[in-house]
Amino acid sequence: MPLFPSHDYSLIAVILGMPLLGAFINGIWGKRLGDAAVKVMALSAVGISFAASVTAFAALAHLTSQEHEAHVRLTWNAWEWMHTTGGAGNVVPVAVRFSIDALSGVMMLVVTGVGFLIHLYSTSYMAGDKGYARFFAYLNLFIFSMLVLILADNLALLFVGWEGVGLCSYLLIGFWYETRSNAAAGKKAFIANRIGDFGLLIAMFLLVHYTGSLDWTGIENGASSLISLSGQGRVSVWPPGGGEYTGPLHWLQPAVPLTVLPATAIGLALLLGCTGKSAQIPLYVWLPDAMAGPTPVSALIHAATMVTAGIYLVCRLSFVFVLSPFTMMAVAVVGASTALFAATIAVVQNDIKKVLAYSTISQLGFMFLGVGVGAFEAGFFHVFTHAFFKACLFLGAGSVIHAMHARIHDGEKSQDIRNMGGLRKWLPHTHWTFLAATLAIIGFPLTSGFFSKEEILYRTLVNHTVNPSSGRYPKYHFFEPPAALGMVLFGAAVLAASFTAFYMCRLYFLTFWGDFKGWTVGRPSLLARQELAAEDHDAHATDDDAHGHPAEDLSTPGYAPHESPWEMTVPLMVLAVFALAAGLLNHFGGDKHPMDHWLEPVFRAAREGAIVVAQGQTEEWAQAQEHVVTAFGVLAFAAGTALAWWMYVAKRGAPAKQLAAALPGLHKLVLDKWRIDELYDATILAGVDSVAETSAAADKYIVDGLLARVTSLLVAAAGAVLRAMQTGVVHVYGATMVVGLAAMGWFFAVPHPNATVADAGSDDYVVTAAPGLGYGYRWDADGDGTPDKVEFGPDATLKLHVEPGKTTTVRLEVRNAFGFVKGRNIQVTHSPAAISAL
Amino acid sequence: MIPVAHYVILSSILFVLGGLGFLVRRNVLVALMSIDVMLNAVNLALVAFNRSHLQASHLQAYSGQSHLGQIFAFFVIAVEAAEVAVGLAIVLSLYRLTGTVRSDEAHLLRN
């Protein structure tokens, strides 16, 4: 019996538990522990988690080879969470259950590995910040949430992690919450993600309803019910939920209800969720603003890990997505358009982090394009390589900003690439690592980005998605994407790739080449040197949050920008090595693709029958395209790079200025990010605002003005009457009490012959007399004027028969304990109307 | 054996006397005493009814006859004691505050 059997792999508890423990300790006691202890706690938490992840991954690899490349999982069942009911009335257990398979294993390694490096980087980058402990508590909590997201074995638990990373993202974007714009950026991210979460929730409900399961295996087994050829099995989109409208809205009722396949509805709802988390059109707007957070956060959450959760989810539920070629097409189109759109914005941005943010959106678009054309391995491989080179780029940017901060304390100006230049002389390590990552992202041959992007481009061109059920039901018409789609997407992707090469080289050249434009470098005068020395201490301490510093006169000479300490450069170097070499994981030794091979069991079921070679083409044609695609890819890289070189190095930026001057309108429009934020403000936000304003007005004038005022007037009037009775004389109160007591005595002394009549069915009625203290009853049911019995008895009910349309009068007499007697006549009517109502 | 009606009539007379005393007398001490007379009238009725309507106890642990009325009278006595304690404390503070124990002069709550 092994220590960790595959069906009860409790090492997962360590992987998950350590970051949670770190978050807990740093969150509760961090302030008292001091920065050194916080650092040790945070690093060891993620470090141990990483070590455990490596162990788990090795165990998984061993198990996979034993099981002959079947889709194996290491699972650990923590506890039973809840039950729900599926569409077929079956019980759906929802367990807190985690599993590691080939897909989540790779993701887990990336999160803990890159996460550890970024933690190490942050220990120096955040040094001296007054929220040091808070920062690491959030960061550890993020690692925990991300691991929950990745390792969850069902969609409900994934959603817990999904929300958890959203929360951490919000907390870390608004980490320096004292600045209003940072807090607003955090809120924006949170709200944009809420819209996506709506989609994810809807998808979850639909999955429970149609497949009767929420865990991955169950959904996969029940996936066949997601393609329903009958009318009832389809999801009614309009009218929502089906049914028929009557009443004033009946004109909205369509002649034929608009229905879609459950697979399409679920896929599109999931896609909405993924566009929110992974910053795709139309919900990408939060990611550029998210750069308000500290730079390591941008690297970890908003580049390497969290934003790839959407692609992870598509991969995870690939067998659902492939059931609907329409959804696959939507994923691919969203991805390609986002890749191109974001790349155009990145071309003109001047903020180093903004360029990287749009670059991230664009690269995420590439990943969506990859999974959308059914190349799940390629899309996921790009997630893997992107994690390294984009984390490296962001951390490099952080190192540059760190250096700029020595004299420029304004957050915006210190990140402006127009103030940089020539930094390669002073920041050699940062320069080389940044260059390596840039080469990877622009697809320099044999770097990691080259391989992953090439594969996406290739699959985009040759793949074609069809409904896997179309073979079984030849008479039924299934949606099929247009044949030209592959070419169009391929063209957009190649264009986006060349834009990528251009803007990344522009960023690199403007930052590290040319002349330094931040300040005059030279020996500072004695006076300035003293000031500088005094300032240098807290310049690093407060970092981006640099308010309160007097604006420094940058025309006086100052020390050159300096390289960052080892805690920052070592992670950069590790990431740079991976950025250059990670591509070989999939491509050493010719046709052997270890990464594809490793992931293949995960996607085997999904791909079967769904992903075919483009219409009217053969396998041979597809294989021949590989070289064509490589040529296009290299061409895109070369064109973009050469243009950037010519513009910013050979001509020192003059052509760029001429171009901007020649097309001022377009330049301004792109600089303003195509004014999408403004468009959303004018349409969606304005709509929500007007609803809010209407509600506020209703609250102000109807609720406060009318309802509240009328109520208060009533209370005031009642008060005025009652006040007159409150004489303040004790004596009067006593007298009132006596009168009340006498009234109660009277009430109890007199019998109350009350009764209720109930219909007992089949023309029978039951008359029940109300109970009371010491009551005895006698009845006169025959209507002869004298009671049926002389004695009063305990029988409080009387049963009688009344023919329809007739009325009978019965008499009830009640005697109480004092011997008082009182009677009442009760009419029992059997109305014909009651019959028709029945 | 004296019929229960006699007890009830005596109890009613005492209760009405107590009530009248509470209504007409202005001395707070006498008002308190009147309340006690009323409570004792109720006690008398409780005890008398219990004795004339003896029933088997419905408690499981006790198989004898029910003395609920008698026991209830003890509760009333305990409540009475508490009432007197609080009442006398109020009378005392009223006297300290106003120098009188007449209830029609105790109108500090007015307005």
Task: Name the residue facing A731 among B19, B104, B111 (closest C-beta).
Answer: B104
- The candidate with the shortest Cα–Cα distance to A147, out of A186, A100, A213, is A100
A727 at interface of B, judged by CB pairs closer than 8 A = yes
From the list B19, B108, B111, the residue facing A738 with the nearest CB is: B19
* Helices (H) then strands (E): counts for chain A: 31, 12
Residues of B in contact with A743 (CB under 8 A): none
Please write the tens of the pLDDT for every residue from A488-526.
999 999 999 999 999 999 999 999 988 888 888 877 665
User: DSSP assignment of A755-782, as one string?
Assistant: EEEEEEETTEEEEEEPP-TT-EEEEE-S
Cα(A502)–Cα(A356) distance, integer angstroms: 13
User: pLDDT tens digits for A577-626?
Assistant: 999 988 888 776 556 678 888 888 888 888 877 777 776 777 888 888 88
Cβ–Cβ gap B103/A726 under 8 Å: no
Q: Which residue of B has its CA nearest to A740?
A: B19
CATH of region A752-837, choose from 2.60.120.260, 2.40.160.20, 3.40.50.720, 2.60.40.10 = 2.60.40.10
Closest Cβ opposite residue B22 in set A726, A727, A734:
A734
Tell me the pLDDT tens digit for each residue of A618-630.
788 888 888 889 9
Which chain A residue has its CA at the smallest distance from B105's CA? A729
Evaluate whether A529 touches A493 at the Cβ level (below 8 Å).
no
Q: Measured between CB atoms, does B106 come within 8 Å of chain A?
A: yes
A728 touches chain B (CB under 8 A): yes
What tens digit of pLDDT does each residue of A760-799 get? 877 888 889 988 878 889 888 877 778 888 888 888 888 8
Q: B103, A741: Cβ pair inside 8 Å?
A: no
Q: Which residues from B are below 8 Å from A744, CB to CB?
A: none
Going across the sheet that includes A797-801, the strands are A755-761, A764-769, A797-801
Residue contact B23–A726, C-beta within 8 A = no
Assign B102 to helix, strand or coil: strand
DSSP structure string for A515-567:
---SS-BSPPPHHHHHHHHHHHHHHHHHTT--TTPPPP-TTS-BPPP-PPPHH
Please write the tens of the pLDDT for every residue from A382-440: 999 999 999 999 999 999 998 988 888 777 788 888 888 888 888 999 999 999 999 99
Let me know: does A45 contact A21? Beta carbons within 8 Å.
yes
Nearest CA in chain B to A723: B111
Tokens found for residue A484: 């030209």
Check pLDDT > 50 for residue A260. Answer: yes
Residue B94: closest C-alpha in chain A: A730
Contact between residue A80 and residue A57 where contact means Cβ atoms under 8 Å apart: no
Minimum CA–CA partner of B103 in chain A: A731
Q: Is A817 on the interface with B (CB under 8 A)?
A: no
Show residues of chain B in contact with A728, CB under 8 Å: 107-111
Chain A contact present for B103, CB below 8 A:
yes
Asked if A734 lies within 8 A of B108 by C-beta distance, the reply is no
Residue of chain A nearest B102, judged by CA positions: A731
Give the highest mean pLDDT range of A307-311, A466-470, A646-650.
A307-311
Q: Does the distance separating the beta carbons of B103 and A731 come in below 8 Å?
A: yes
Nearest to A815 by CA among A741, A749, A767: A749
> Cβ separation of A738 and B103 shorter than 8 Å?
no
Per-window interface: B 27-66 vs A, CB < 8 A: 28, 31
Length of chain B: 111
**Chain A residues near residue B110 by CB distance under 8 angstroms:** 727-729
For residue A612, the cross-strand partners are A464
Which DSSP category does A614 fall into? P
Looking at residue A544, its pLDDT comes to 46
CA angle A75, A165, A374 (to 5 degrees): 65
- Judging contacts by C-beta atoms under 8 Å, the chain B residues touching residue A729 are 103-104, 106-107, 110
pLDDT at A441 over 60: yes
% pLDDT > 70, chain A: 95
Q: What is each CA distance from A321 to A219, A596, A603, A610, in whole angstroms?
A: 12, 19, 11, 10
Cβ distance B110 to A741 less than 8 Å, yes or no, reads no
Lowest mean pLDDT among A66-70, A520-524, B48-52, B91-95: A520-524
Length of chain A: 838
Q: Closest-CA residue in chain B for A738? A: B19
Select from A729, A733, A736 the residue whose CB has the most chain B CBs within 10 Å, as the one to mutate to test that interface: A729
- Nearest in space to A314 (alpha carbons), one of A454, A439, A200: A200
**Hey, is the C-beta of A734 within 8 angstroms of any chain B C-beta?**
yes
Residues B47, B69 contacting (CB under 8 angstroms) = yes
Residues of chain B contacting residue A738, judged by C-beta atoms under 8 Å apart: 19, 22-23
User: Shortest CB distance from B103 goes to which of A727, A730, A738?
Assistant: A730
Which domains are delineated in chain B?
4-55+66-99 (1.10.287.3510)
Inter-chain CB proximity B106 and A726 less than 8 Å: no
From the list B22, B26, B107, the residue facing A738 with the nearest CB is B22
What confidence category does residue A532 fall into, taking pLDDT thresholds of 50, 70 and 90?
A: low
pLDDT at A181 over 70: yes
What average pLDDT score do residues B39-43 get?
95
Distances (CA, A) of A575 to A101, A121, A299, A304: 25, 12, 12, 11
Give the model's confidence band at A738: pLDDT under 50 very low, under 70 low, under 90 confident, else very high: confident
pLDDT tens, position by position, A332-374: 999 999 999 999 999 999 999 999 999 999 999 999 999 999 8
Closest to A797 (Cα-Cα) out of A760, A828, A770, A824: A770
pLDDT of residue A663: 87
What is the model's pLDDT at position A702?
A: 92
Interchain CB contact of A722 with B (< 8 Å):
no
Contact assignment for B110 to A729 by CB distance below 8 Å:
yes
Of the partner residues A726, A730, A738, the one whose CB lies closest to the CB of residue B23: A738
Which range of A118-132, A226-240, A658-672 scores highest in mean pLDDT? It is A118-132
Report the chain B residue with the minimal C-alpha distance to residue A732: B104
Please count the CA atoms within 13 angstroms of the CA of A370 that sit on its side-chain side: 28
Contact B110 A734 (CB under 8 A): no
φ/ψ (deg, to 5) at A296 = -60, -30
Tell me the two tokens of residue A538. Answer: 């807290």
Per-residue model confidence (pLDDT) at position A533 = 58
- Chain A residues in contact with B22 (beta carbon < 8 A): 734, 738
CB contact, 8 Å: A835 with chain B?
no
**Distance between CA A714 and CA A720 in Å, rounded?**
10
The confidence band for A548, taking pLDDT boundaries of 50, 70 and 90, is very low
CB contact under 8 A, B110 and A738: no
Partners of B107 on chain A (C-beta within 8 Å) are: 727-730
Compute the nearest-CA separation of A742 from chain B (Å). 10
> Over 80: is that where the pLDDT of B106 sits?
no
The CA dihedral of B58, B59, B65, B69, to the nearest 10 degrees, is -90
Q: Please check the confidence at residue B55 and state whether its pLDDT lies above 80.
A: no
Task: Compute the mean pLDDT over every residue in chain A, rounded to the nearest whole number.
Answer: 88
Please report where in the chains the tokens 């929360």 appear, as a residue.
A167
Say yes or no for a CB contact (<8 Å) between A735 and B23: yes
The DSSP symbol for A826 reads E
Q: For CA atoms A393, A398, A400, A401, give the dihedral sign.
A: positive
Per domain, the residue ranges of chain A are 326-521+556-615, 752-837
The 3-state secondary structure of A622-661, one letter per residue: HHHHHHHHHHHHHHHHHHHHHHHHHHHHHCCCHHHHHHHH
Give the nearest partner residue to A729 out of B23, B31, B104, using CB atoms. B104
The minimum CA-CA distance between A729 and chain B, rounded to whole Å, is: 4
Contacting A residues, span 760-779, partner chain B, CB-CB under 8 Å:
none
pLDDT band at residue A698 under the 50/70/90 scheme: very high
Say how far apart CA A524 and CA A463 lie, in whole Å.
Answer: 62
Q: Closest approach of chain B CAs to the CA of A726, in angstroms? A: 7
Size of interface A-B (CB pairs under 8 A): 32
Task: Note whether B109 contacts A734, CB cutoff 8 Å.
Answer: no
Q: Per-residue confidence at A668, pLDDT binned at 50, 70, 90? A: confident
- Does A729 contact B at CB distance below 8 Å? yes
Contact B111 A731 (CB under 8 A): no
Closest CA to A149 of A266, A6, A306, A364: A306
Percent helix, strand and coil across chain A, each rounded to 5?
65, 10, 25
Nearest-Cα residue of chain B relative to residue A727? B110
State ipTM. Answer: 0.79
* Min distance B64 CA to chain A CA atoms (Å): 24
